[in-house]
Every structure is written in structure tokens, then in C-alpha cells.
Amino acid sequence: MQKKLSQFSLNEKGVIKSISGEGRVRRRLFDMGVTPGAEVILRKKAPLGDPMEITIRGYELSLRKVEAELVLMEVKE
């Protein structure tokens, strides 16, 4: 099943399918290791629901909902 990273619930796992968006934000995502094929777990959401924290390539990364919307995931069971 595919859905956006922004729609993930807590502790949900998945593999990145593709990244949309453009320019600075998109490049920043790539540079931080958010590229197709990487495994992601949604670890936490901030007290006000946004931003969120994910584990990717062995480290913790935070990103906002708007940025997570650019990331299309393949949900893993």
C-alpha cells in the first residue's frame, strides 16, 4: 500500500518510493538521505502535532508535515 509520509501514524514503517517538490527543499531532503529505497519509521510527533521525527539511515531526522507530504511511501508490515 502506498501513502504519503505525512499520513503515517506512530511507529509505522515503510520504504520511500519517490520524492516530489522542487528546489531547495527537495535537495535538502536528498542530502539528508531521504531518497528512494531508504527505510523509514515514524518515531514521534511534536506536542502540537507537527513537526515529526523519523528514523532514517540510522539517525533521527525531523521534518514538518508540509515537507513529509512530498515523500511517497510504500508501507511495510
Residue 15 makes contact with other proteins by CB under 8 A: no
61: left (phi over 0), alpha (psi -120 to 50) or beta: beta
Residue type, 15: V
- With beta carbons less than 8 A apart as the criterion, state whether 25 and 70 touch: yes
59 binds other proteins (CB under 8 A): yes
Judged by CB under 8 A, the residue of 1, 9, 11, 49 near other proteins is 49
Of positions 5, 29, 42, 73, contacts other proteins by CB under 8 A: 29
Tell whether residue 72 is a contact of other proteins (CB under 8 A). Answer: no
Query: Could you say whether residue 46 binds other proteins (CB under 8 A)?
Result: yes
What's the Cα-to-Cα distance from 6 to each of 37, 52, 58, 62, rounded to whole Å?
17, 9, 20, 12
List residues binding other proteins (CB under 8 A).
18-19, 24-38, 44, 46-51, 53, 57-64, 67
